[in-house]
């Protein structure tokens, strides 16, 4: 049994990660924001019994993230920084909602690092610590296309942050990877997405289960295939 921290677990991929991990007997700490739907997450955590716990924070709020971290006194083995948003409607290079995209950068690029920094003491105590940043193939600098520039830029920034954190934590033997979950039928991915959330999460967990320090600084999809940065 390992201790997993899933940040952003009220819906979609984070909720399904929590559900599958609780069912397989892991210790799961799952976070949601104040006011978010609680019932589905409670149901997903139920099989974990006393090994399941909820934390409340918005990843844009450093003091809230740090306060939540003080509630976790035991080691953490895996952090999945999953919380993310798609951002405002106007986010192209020709017409941008700048305050909206600034907020998106805060959530998607800085939020995962805020969570990783706050929980680093617990990760350092973990048996086989691993950090997974939920990115997107849309963050790849190699990918063409211009739609949703704000989202792309936020995930490209997150990828750079993942690389730097990977390099900084390599001497401590803690792998850090950026993960693309596939195009998944969630509120964000929409009904036309190609993957069900169960299939995506099944793949993500297989990849994370196999991560070692040799994998640090990789940009992987849910099947374990490398993506061009
Ligand atoms: N679905 C896809 O096709 C796809 C593809 C590539 C990458 N991704 C990435 O995968 C991750 C999960 O996506 P999803 O499809 O499951 O999206 P989703 O269904 O929209 O769920 C997003 C989750 O993130 C949480 N969240 C958003 N902003 C937050 C914040 N500031 N603080 C804390 N929690 C916050 C949401 O909480 P609330 O309920 O409180 O809003 C929700 O739990 C995201 O990082 C996304 O960018 C998804």
Give me the tens of pLDDT residue by residue for the chain, a chain 229 residues long.
999 999 999 999 999 999 999 999 999 999 999 999 999 999 999 999 999 999 999 999 999 999 999 999 999 999 999 999 999 999 999 999 999 999 999 999 999 999 999 999 999 999 999 999 999 999 999 999 999 999 999 999 999 999 999 999 999 999 999 999 999 999 999 999 999 999 999 999 999 999 999 999 999 999 999 999 9
Expressed in angstroms and rounded, the spacing between residue 171 Cα and the centre of ligand 1 is 31
Tokens for 134, please give them.
Answer: 């939920």
Residue 58 beta carbon below 6 angstroms from any ligand 1 atom: yes
Distance CA 10, CA 42 (A): 9
Expressed in angstroms and rounded, the spacing between residue 186 Cα and the centre of ligand 1 is 9
* pLDDT of the residue at 163: 98
| Best probe residue, ligand 1, of 182, 188, 200 (max atoms within 8 Å of C-beta) | 188
| Atom 24 of ligand 1, nearest CA residue | 83
Expressed in angstroms and rounded, the spacing between residue 215 Cα and the centre of ligand 1 is 24
* pLDDT of the residue at 222: 98
**189, 169, 162, 177: which is closest to 218 by C-alpha?**
177
CA atoms within 13 A on the CB side of 125: 10
The full set of domains in the chain, from first to last, is 3-221 (3.40.50.720)
Residue 122 beta carbon below 6 angstroms from any ligand 1 atom: no
* pLDDT of the residue at 131: 98
CA atoms within 13 A on the CB side of 73: 0
Distance CA 98, CA 81 (A): 25
* pLDDT of the residue at 59: 98
| Atom 10 of ligand 1, nearest CA residue | 134
Residue 186 beta carbon below 6 angstroms from any ligand 1 atom: yes
Residue 66 beta carbon below 6 angstroms from any ligand 1 atom: no
Residue 33 beta carbon below 6 angstroms from any ligand 1 atom: yes
* pLDDT of the residue at 176: 98
* pLDDT of the residue at 82: 98
For strand 130-134 and strand 176-180, is the pairing parallel, antiparallel, or unpaired? parallel
Distance CA 81, CA 94 (A): 31
* pLDDT of the residue at 62: 98
Expressed in angstroms and rounded, the spacing between residue 57 Cα and the centre of ligand 1 is 14
Helices 149-169 and 111-124 cross at an angle (nearest 10°) of 20
Tokens for 77, please give them.
Answer: 């083995």
Distance CA 97, CA 88 (A): 7
For strand 52-56 and strand 27-32, is the pairing parallel, antiparallel, or unpaired? parallel
* pLDDT of the residue at 12: 98
């Amino acid at each position: 049994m390992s201790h997993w921290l899933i940040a952003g677990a009220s819906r979609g991929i984070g909720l399904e990660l929590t559900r599958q991990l609780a069912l397989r007997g892991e210790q799961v700490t799952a976070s949601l924001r104040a006011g978010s739907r609680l019932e589905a997450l409670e149901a997903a955590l139920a099989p974990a019994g006393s090994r399941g716990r909820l934390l409340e924070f918005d990843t844009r709020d450093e003091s809230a993230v740090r306060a939540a971290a003080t509630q976790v006194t035991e080691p953490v083995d895996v952090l999945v920084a999953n919380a993310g948003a798609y951002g405002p409607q106007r986010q192209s290079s020709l017409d941008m909602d700048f305050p909206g995209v600034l907020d998106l950068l805060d959530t998607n690029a800085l939020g995962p690092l805020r969570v990783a920094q706050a929980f680093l003491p617990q990760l350092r105590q973990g048996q086989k610590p691993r950090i997974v940043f939920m990115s997107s193939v849309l963050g790849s600098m190699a990918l063409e296309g211009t739609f949703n520039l704000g989202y792309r830029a936020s995930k490209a920034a997150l990828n750079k942050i993942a690389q730097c954190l990977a390099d900084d934590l390599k001497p401590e033997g803690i792998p850090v990877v950026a993960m693309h979950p596939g195009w998944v039928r969630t509120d964000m991915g929409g009904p036309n997405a190609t993957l069900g959330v169960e299939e995506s999460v099944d793949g993500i967990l297989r990849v994370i289960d196999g991560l070692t320090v040799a994998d640090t600084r990789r940009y992987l999809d849910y099947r374990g295939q490398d993506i061009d940065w």
